[in-house]
Amino acid sequence: MTGAQDFLFEIGTEELPPLALGELSTSLADGITHGLAECRLGHGAVARFATPRRLAVVVERLVDRQPDQQIKRRGPPVSAAFDSQGQPTRAAKSFADACATSVERLERIREGKGEYLFFSGQQKGEATCGLLPQIVSQALAALPIPKRMRWGAGDAEFVRPVHWIVLMYGASVVPATILGVPTGNQSRGHRFHAPHAITIGEPSAYAAALRQHGRVIANFAERREIIRSGVLKIASRGGRKPLLSDALIDEVTALVEWPVPFVGSFDERFLDLPREVLIATLQDHQRYFPVEGADAHLAPSFVAVSNIESRDPARVVHGNERVVRPRLADAAFFWDTDRKVSLADRIDALKGVTFQNKLGSLFDKSERVRTLVGLIAPAVGADARHASRAAQLCKCDLLTSLVGEFPELQGTMGSYFARHDAEADEVAKAIAEQYLPRFAGDRLPASRTGIALAIADRLDSICGVFAIGQKPTGARDPFGLRRAALGVLRIAIELRCEIDLKDLIRAASNLQPVKNDVAADVYEYMMERLRAYYLDTSGLGGMSSEVFDAVLANQPASPLDFDARVRAVAEFLSLPEAPALTAANKRIANILRQAGETSVANFGEIDRAMFEKEEEKALFAALEQSRSEVLGLLRERHYGEAMKRLAALRAPVDAFFDAVMVMHDDARVRAQRLGLLRALRELFMHTADLSRLGS
């Protein structure tokens, strides 16, 4: 290696999809970094850049060639490499050719019982410039692009048409053709401010050149911070503050190359709209930042971010205000019109809207959910009458024009309409909360009726989709069942709701119009989601798949009970007695399995007079003394305390196995000893099957 220089790759395109820009940028940098590592090319820091029209990566101090590599290869056996006259065979010649040498220069090495031809030499490292085009091409091919497009007369495919490629090592262009475009050292500036070509002198000058000559801030994080701080600053001039959504800031950052924040306004009469409608119009439809006044109420203004620095800013402001005005007017019209028909008057119309071809209409689904909430409400402390009414009305807002325009507000608008219709406050809250949690980490329902409705709605969907044979496979989950299952489990565990999940799954399954016995499959599916919940999100110390499987062996019906057992086992494993008792449980399980149930005495049938050794008498006495207390703790689900009490049995258990031969020749003695072990195992099994844990 004679030196190292910086490396730059930039691909310039039509406007890239904003929601995918961050992932594309990260994947490109990761792909190039991986390719360099595969080629054994050392380097320094890797920087990534992303704007609406480009993806770029700069690698600092990239070595100019691969290190030389010592090659050692074993060839064919000597017996097969030479014929009876000692002449090399085709096998020997082929091996020599593959090693770029002659047969005479090959060594002979004895390994094991045979002797083999052997090549030892040095392979000179390739120049970096010769490897870079392939590394870049492979990184582009591996980008997470669901559907690639073609353009022009060529056959190249990418997420958007490609207009230019910059590929530089130091100050030199690396010659190649990538996606049908020849490489060079010329980038492009802002589409309107600086559409001309910009020559990049060297990779380290890339970002500065685009900023200075092209009105492009290429660094995504830098551009994002300019937007965030700019929106805050311009909004605060009137003593107000913007509603800063991280997702919206990311999306706006992906839409502009030269951000210029500005303030716009709208008619105060639109403040009569529900807060969520205003926010959805400004934020989700227009990519504007809503603004709050000092009283935390929405103000009749917004902050937007332009992609140009206009010579007449007032025209930009006026243009955006003119665009948002009809949006808000439409929302106000829908709001006024939808309230003229009550939710209750829309119930019959649900019969005409298909939920799923084989699962009936939205009316059918609502009726199934209504039956389920009747079972769930008493368990979670909800008013059965309110729960039934909420289930009856919960899908009616899907028929309103406002939800048709803003589908993300389903449930939320139903709650507003329910209050307008003078429905009970608990019913209105539940209609809004039925969709909670909407995503990982989202808030959970707060009302008891909302809890019952959220669980019922999800279980109906899960069981229905399983019944029609459409359960998720691999990465495909078109009905969002993973999210639904996790929602039920989070509600039960985090809100401390005691529900019998098995009974509810059976009930939901029996209500489906397609009659398939899917209850066991649904329970298994939900348990796998519960496993992911513990392993990925809970941060529970000591949790592992083994701990989960040990509890799952008992098939607990209640997620809350499952949670108590998991935590107890994880806590138990931190005790010094745990390894020995876990090993003992494995041993006991194997002994009992081999013995068979017919030759094992029950605890009440154990005759201590049959014991011959002090160690078995001592274990029986310790077990007899602690058994009733442990069973009491287990009945109250104090699994952790019960496991601690059982941990005290380690000494007599160890002594028993050291001194006692369980499989005694006398069948009566053997039955007593086996009964003692079964009683011990049953106490542990009340919480989990410890024999499934590592020793």
629-680 pLDDT, tens digit per residue, is 989 999 999 999 998 988 888 898 888 888 878 788 777 877 878 888 888 8
pLDDT of residue 540: 58
**Torsion sign (Cα): 488, 489, 494, 497:** positive
pLDDT of residue 125: 84
Q: What pLDDT digit, counting tens, does each position of 511-548 carry?
A: 999 999 999 999 999 999 999 999 876 555 557 888 99
Q: How far is CA 329 from CA 85, 163, 400, 402, 492, in A?
A: 99, 41, 16, 12, 42
Q: In whole angstroms, what is the distance from residue 205 CA to residue 190 CA? A: 17
Q: In whole angstroms, what is the distance from residue 506 CA to residue 523 CA? A: 9
Determine the number of helices (DSSP H) and then strands (DSSP E) in the chain. Answer: 25, 18
pLDDT of residue 538: 54
Closest CA to 217 of 199, 183, 194, 240: 194
Residue with tokens 């020995």: 580
Residues of the chain falling short of pLDDT 50: 1, 695
Q: Which residues contact 303 (CB under 8 A, 6 or more apart)?
A: 231, 234, 235, 242, 261, 262, 263, 264, 288, 289, 291
Walk me through the domains of the chain, giving residue ranges and CATH numbers.
4-65+127-214 (3.30.70.260), 69-123 (no CATH), 220-338 (no CATH), 345-538 (1.10.3210), 573-692 (1.10.730.10)
Q: Which amino acid is at 82?
A: F
pLDDT of residue 205: 97
Asked if 430 and 449 touch (Cβ cutoff 8 Å), the reply is yes
User: Three-class SS string for 212-244?
Assistant: HHHCCCCCHHHHHHHHHHHHHHHHHHHCCEECC
pLDDT of residue 1: 42
Q: What is the DSSP string of 657-672?
A: HHH--SS-SSHHHHHH
Grouping H, G, I as helix, E, B as strand and the rest as coil, residue 636 is coil
Asked if 210 and 259 touch (Cβ cutoff 8 Å), the reply is no
pLDDT of residue 344: 97
Q: How far is CA 586 from the centre of its chain?
A: 35
Encode burial over 60-88: b for 16+ CB neighbours within 10 A, e otherwise. Answer: eebbbbbeeeeeeeebbebeebbeeeeeb
pLDDT of residue 242: 95
Grouping H, G, I as helix, E, B as strand and the rest as coil, residue 119 is strand
> Cis (ω within 30 of 0) for the bond into 313?
no
pLDDT of residue 599: 60
pLDDT of residue 598: 58
Q: In whole angstroms, what is the distance from residue 448 CA to residue 430 CA? A: 8
Closest CA to 28 of 47, 14, 6: 47
Q: State the pTM of this model.
A: 0.82
With residue 653 as reference, give the H or E element that holds it. helix 650-659
